[in-house]
Homo-oligomer: A and B are copies of this chain.
Amino acid sequence: MIIVMRKGATQAQVNEVVERVRAAGFGVHLSQGEERTIIGAIGGDRRVLSDLNLEAAPGVERVTPISKPYKLVSRDFHPEDTVIRVGGATVGGSDLWVVAGPCSVEGRELLLESARLVRDGGAHALRAGAFKPRSSPYSFQGLGEEGLKYLAEARALTGLPVVTEVMDTRDVELVAEYADVLQIGTRNMQNFSLLKEVGRTNKPVLLKRGMSATIEEWLMAAEYVMSEGNHQVILCERGVRTFETATRNTLDLSAVVVAKSLTHLPVVVDPSHGVGKRAFVGALARAAVAAGADGILVEVHQRPDEAKSDAAQTIGPTAFHQMMHEIAAIAQVLGRRLPTPVSAHV
């Protein structure tokens, strides 16, 4: 951390800062220029520095962190890629991972039909929401535990592991009983209580990027989960909020590339929420794989027009098959593989 003192800061103010930095266990490097003094804080546990609030100390103009504020998620401390096992598949190695299914669990029959469809289409996991975060309290809120039971049945039927969202700290135990991967939605990326709670389970966590979260905040959210002991975190880019209104969100594929350079955790992409329109999902899935994403999370429905939520961005069976075909070919160009799911042999 570098502390830049104001032009005209007094020697007493400089000393005061130096003492506080030393008291926190850091070495100090002083650089006294003609106009300004610059103080470097060296060694020590950089994670405590933000609690020093040096920005507010008299005479301080600016504080610039040099080290990153996260540790467990950082590639600096764990250079090789983390590979996470979900059912028979892996996430974060050379194999692509595809999670598909309807937006929400709408009913038993519909879900089982969807599960067979995505299994036959080559998906490695099934996604569907039993608890749904809806912007209106008057919209369908999901089937809750009943939905979880249908998901478990779909897994038994198809062999596909289940990815589903948990929204309430009180539901973590329940959802973890039924699900193979716990999803944290974009609106809860900084619901720190929830992050800690899933960090205490032993299930992989799929952590969606917040709608306006910086890459650093996203990694800090992963650090919350990991700091509780659960190191199986899969990051998921799903579009950020910008001024553009032609798309639901602005899918940020640079974030995939940048995140993978900063962390060893796998990064997957959700093109359905990213663009919000069915016709564009396939092209963005291809782009995501070409950028280096470790997998794709996609909304698929046997009759997308009848989906109870997110219908406009849900693709049907034909589009899903074409997408799988195309991303397999692009994976090959990059020396990766879209593996045939184990479950396909069930």
Contact = CB atoms under 8 A, between A and B. Distances in A.
Contact of A192 (B36, B133, B253): B133
A57 interface: yes
A176 interface: no
Nearest to A191: B191
A38 B36 contact: no
A214 to B, nearest CB: 6
B255 A244 contact: yes
Interface string A133-158: 11111111000000000000000000
A201 interface: no
Nearest to A141: B192
A56 interface: yes
Contact of A312 (B55, B133, B257): B55
A289 interface: yes
B138 A307 contact: no
Residue among A212, A223, A243, A261 with max Cβ neighbours from chain B (10 Å): A243
Contact of A304 (B56, B140, B190, B250): B56
A85 interface: no
Contacts of A192: 133-134, 137, 167, 187
A265 interface: no
Contacts of A31: 29, 31, 40
Contacts of A216: 246
B138 A47 contact: yes
Contacts of A243: 212, 214, 240-243
Nearest to A211: B212
Copies of this chain, count = 4
Contacts of A292: 283
Nearest to A56: B311
Contacts of A312: 53, 55-56
Interface in A45-64: 47-48, 50-51, 53, 55-58, 62, 64
Given A57-B305, A307-B53, A137 B275 contact: no
Interface of A: 2, 4, 7, 27, 29, 31, 33-34, 36, 38, 40, 42-43, 47-48, 50-51, 53, 55-58, 62, 64, 66, 69-70, 76, 133-140, 167-170, 187-188, 190-193, 196, 211-212, 214-217, 220, 223-224, 227, 239-247, 250-255, 257-258, 261, 274-275, 277-280, 283-284, 286-292, 304-309, 311-312, 314, 326, 329-330, 333-334
24 contacts: A2-B2, A29-B31, A29-B33, A29-B38, A31-B31, A31-B40, A47-B136, A51-B139, A53-B311, A56-B312, A56-B314, A58-B305, A133-B192, A137-B196, A212-B212, A214-B245, A241-B243, A243-B243, A246-B255, A247-B254, A287-B287, A287-B288, A287-B290, A290-B330
